[in-house]
């Protein structure tokens, strides 16, 4: 038997499920985790089942997060701010990977099983900016960092022609 993969999305290949389950958690579930959920949907092209949640959800998705999500071929209206407890309660299967995108959420993810694979990407909160242009720039920068990290996580050849998506099309989504 060969060495075990270090990619958390590839480490569960012995299960009968064909799609890996990813949960992205932040505090408010209004910006970073929502944008990551949208990116996983668009870039993962069905390879992963993704959800997002907040340790203290705001109950609304930030309009500038929706502005960034509108760059992708997904319906921005499908995203809602949800609590971590509600997502875990509604989930029949465990998550293969949990990614925390803020330090507060990383410290407050206690309801997760101890053996859950976790990654922490501590990103600044773009919603902390009060001036509109600064906020817009912060949301764009955060979205771009998430796109890069999610692309890296999904694999070096993120978009494969065999999956029917042209690299230029993805570049257009993210530009």
Residue 142 a catalytic site member: no
**Is 137 buried (19+), middle (13-18) or exposed (0-12) by CB count in 10 A?**
middle
Q: Out of 53, 109, 123, 153, pick the active-site residue.
A: 109
CB < 8 Å & 24+ apart, contacts of 85-91: 85/111, 86/53, 87/23, 87/51, 87/52, 87/53, 88/53, 88/112, 91/21, 91/51
Active-site hit among 9, 23, 24, 26: 26
Distance CA 115, CA 24 (A): 16
26 is catalytic: yes
Question: Which one of 9, 97, 102, 159 is the catalytic residue?
Answer: 102
Angle at 1 between CA 159 and CA 158, to 5 degrees: 5
- Give the residue numbers annotated as catalytic, written as ranges: 26, 102, 109
């Amino acid at each position: 038997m060969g060495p075990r993969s270090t990619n958390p999305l590839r480490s569960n290949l012995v299960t009968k499920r064909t799609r890996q389950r990813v949960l992205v958690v932040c505090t408010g579930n209004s910006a970073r985790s929502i944008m990551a959920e949208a990116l996983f949907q668009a870039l993962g092209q069905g390879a992963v089942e993704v959800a997002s949640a907040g340790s203290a959800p705001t109950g609304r998705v930030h309009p500038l997060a929706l502005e960034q999500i509108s760059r992708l071929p997904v319906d921005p209206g499908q995203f809602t701010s949800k609590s971590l407890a509600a997502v875990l309660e509604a989930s029949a299967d465990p998550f293969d990977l949990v990614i925390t995108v803020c330090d507060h959420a990383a410290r407050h993810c206690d309801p997760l099983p101890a053996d859950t694979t976790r990654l922490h990407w501590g990103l600044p909160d773009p919603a902390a900016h009060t001036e509109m242009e600064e906020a817009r720039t912060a949301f764009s920068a955060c979205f771009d960092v998430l796109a890069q990290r999610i692309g890296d996580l999904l694999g070096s050849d993120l978009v494969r022609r065999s999956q029917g998506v042209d690299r230029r099309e993805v570049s257009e989504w993210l530009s």
